[in-house]
Amino acid sequence: MTEVISRKVQTGNYQTFIHEGGESASETIIFLHGSGPGVSAKSNWQHILPHFKGNFHVVAPDIFGFANTDHPETYPKNGAEWMNERIKQVLALMDELGVEKAHLVGNSLGGVIALHLLMYAPERFDRVVLMGAGGGLTEPTPELAKLANFHKDPNPIAFKNLLSWFLYDQSVLEDELEQIVAERLELFLKPEVRRSYEENFSKSHLSDMLVPPSALKQMNHSILLIHGHADRFVPLQSSLYVMDYLPNAQLHIFKRCGHWAQVEQKERFVKLTLNFFNGEL
């Protein structure tokens, strides 16, 4: 498979929309996106996957409750149930694709899901990259609170402000920011996407996503933490917290970087993660 293709795959009683590239016989990396309005695997990873598909089988799903994955008719009742559904989604996706064991890259919420996957099915995963990941965050920053409440009054100006806060320096995207705002807002305003977002954020709490120190201590996987020094959505303290307990982890902090390390520090992010997955780090 020379190109990254998009398709739907059966996961339990619904279909998951994925982007996939590389040879299926190669080691698999699953890329898990974050949780902002209009987010998707495409918006998070479209410029990253091509750098990995030459040496790895890459899979980036739209996480349950977001984008083009089938949306639920009956919603989970709380954040713990949402998390459980997403754990089951990733494991069902691996089973459907015939992937016995995979590496993980988790951004923000995707990083929290990755940690929960290590709690519930540690034998299914190998090396793990956590980028701007939660798991050690107990109270929302003002920026995260705005993200969680965006569904109450979605409009282009508020959305542009919100997305600009993800960056240390929004000039990195320059004219692209307007296009990103338009594309993501269009996706977010689809009725099923907006409903899932509201259900998710109105009935979840950050405490639902905390990973206990006792669990972190048992994760013997090789883990690479990447965090933007100026991240205002998931502060650096979250990675420092999990770093205290993970037995086999390393932390790389990028200066002049906010919540989107894969955008603001793309070349460094790609080089660092490729070296890590190749066992050179």
Catalytic residue among 33, 57, 227, 259: 259
Query: For position 177, what pLDDT does the model report?
Result: 87
Q: How many domains does the chain divide into?
A: 1
Residue 59's domain is classified under what CATH number? 3.40.50.1820
**How many Å from the N-terminal Cα to the C-terminal Cα in the chain?**
28
**Which residue spans within 134-190 are E strands per DSSP?**
none
* Paired tokens of 47: 């410029």
Q: Is 259 a catalytic residue?
A: yes
> Do the Cβ atoms of 105 and 273 come closer than 8 Å?
yes
92 to each of 43, 80, 83, 140, how far by Cα in Å? 23, 18, 14, 31
Q: CA-to-CA distance for 262 and 37, rounded, in angstroms? A: 18
Q: CA-to-CA distance for 122 and 230, rounded, in angstroms? A: 31
**What domain range includes position 179?**
5-277
Three-state DSSP at 56 gives coil
Profile the chain (281 residues) by mean pLDDT over runs of 10 residues.
89 98 94 96 96 96 98 95 97 98 97 97 98 85 93 93 93 85 94 96 88 96 98 95 96 96 96 96 81
Beta-bridge partner residues of 227? 253
Q: Which residues of 209-242 are buried (b: 16+ CB within 10 A; e: fewer)?
A: bbbeeebbeebebbbbbbbbebbbbbbbebbebb
pTM assigned to the model: 0.97
